[in-house]
């Protein structure tokens, strides 16, 4: 048995009953993985590479990660917030430096580092073209993955293509659009399931996981497989 650890932000994080129907894609990832692959979701709302490291959250993972485990790293949304000195990074310098630290730490513990470019937001132009919103951060991650020989899941490109296929109206049914909130960043159960499917497909394509470690990749997944536990504490949003 191996464990897949997720280090990331609110797009992947565990959500609780007080946030439903908001759903992080990390909540849906176990649906697509065999029972011998356990998901340990350490993604937290509002974190960037910088703040996740500064708060000791990687250290918490390193205390329990074992040889053969996977460390899946997805950040970018909050690294963009350069007006916030606690979170903002530069894509080609500090962001890459921080990602390099994640990869090196995983390898020092015999685990496999994996980078995932950030899932895209829901944004379209007047002609209905899905727009990129993440600046240079995905490109910086792609470049570093090549340089450091780290497996890359290109979730940004795949999610952008998915939003384009769905179009401006249908994508609303994947994001956390409610009568009181029009959220173009966070997902509801259908959206989290489809992003998790993209992640699982990429884990298989890149041979991070073997075929026997994945399942149900082509199945229709009922949304009642998503549940929200009671909150242990309140975390701030992204």
CA distances (Å), 162 to each of 68, 86, 131, 197, 226, in order?
32, 32, 12, 12, 21
pLDDT in tens, the chain (238 residues): 999 999 999 999 999 999 999 999 999 999 999 999 999 999 999 999 999 999 999 999 999 999 999 999 999 999 999 999 999 999 999 999 999 999 999 999 999 999 999 999 999 999 999 999 999 999 999 999 999 999 999 999 999 999 999 999 999 999 998 888 899 999 999 999 999 999 999 999 999 999 999 999 999 999 999 999 998 865 554 5
Say how far apart CA 195 and CA 97 lie, in whole Å: 27
Structure confidence at residue 178 (pLDDT): 80
| Measured CA distances, 76 to 49, 157, 166, 174, 217 (Å) | 8, 14, 24, 20, 26
Burial degree of 204 (CB within 10 A; 0-12, 13-18, 19+): middle
Q: In this predicted structure, what is the pLDDT of residue 233?
A: 64
Tell me the three-class secondary structure of the chain, residue by residue: CEEEEEEECCCCCCCCHHHCCCECHHHHHHHHECCCEEEEECCCCCCCHHHHHHCCHHHHHHCCCCCCCEEEEECCCCCCCCCCCCCCCCCCCHHHHHHHHHHHHHHHCCCEEEEECCCCCCCECCCCCECCCCCCHHHHHHHHHHHHCCEEECHHHHHHHHHHHHHHHHHHHCEEEECCEEEEEEECHHHHHHHHHHHHHHHHHCCCCCHHHECCCCCCCCHHHCCCCCCCCCCCCC
Which neighbouring-strand residues pair with 130?
A: 124
The answer to whether the pTM exceeds 0.85 is yes
Rounded Cα distance between 200 and 155, Å, is 10
In this prediction, residue 187 carries a pLDDT of: 98
Architecture, CATH, for domain 2-225: 3-Layer(aba) Sandwich (3.40)
Q: What is the pLDDT of residue 180?
A: 83
Domain ranges of the chain: 2-225
- Tally the residues of the chain: 238
**57 preceded by a cis bond (ω within 30 of 0):** no
């Amino acid at each position: 048995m191996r464990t897949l650890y997720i280090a990331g932000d609110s797009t992947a994080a565990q959500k609780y009953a007080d946030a439903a129907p908001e759903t992080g894609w990390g909540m849906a990832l176990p649906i697509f993985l065999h029972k011998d692959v356990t998901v340990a979701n350490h993604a937290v709302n509002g974190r960037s590479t910088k703040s996740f490291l500064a708060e000791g959250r990687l250290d918490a993972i390193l205390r329990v990660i074992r040889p053969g485990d996977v460390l899946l790293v997805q950040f970018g949304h909050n690294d963009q917030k350069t007006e916030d000195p606690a979170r903002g990074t530069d894509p080609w310098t500090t962001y890459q430096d921080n990602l390099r630290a994640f990869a090196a730490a995983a390898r020092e513990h015999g685990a496999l580092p994996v980078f995932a470019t950030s899932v895209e937001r829901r944004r379209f132009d007047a002609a209905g073209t899905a727009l990129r919103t993440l600046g240079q951060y995905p490109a910086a991650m792609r470049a570093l993955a090549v340089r450091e020989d780290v497996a890359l899941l290109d979730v940004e490109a795949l999610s952008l293509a998915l939003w384009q296929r769905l179009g401006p109206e249908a994508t609303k049914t994947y994001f956390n659009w409610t009568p009181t909130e029009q959220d173009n960043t966070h997902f509801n159960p259908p959206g989290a399931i489809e992003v998790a499917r993209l992640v699982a497909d990429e884990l298989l394509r890149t041979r991070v996981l073997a075929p026997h470690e994945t399942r149900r990749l082509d199945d229709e997944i009922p949304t009642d497989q998503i549940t929200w536990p009671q909150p242990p504490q309140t975390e701030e949003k992204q």
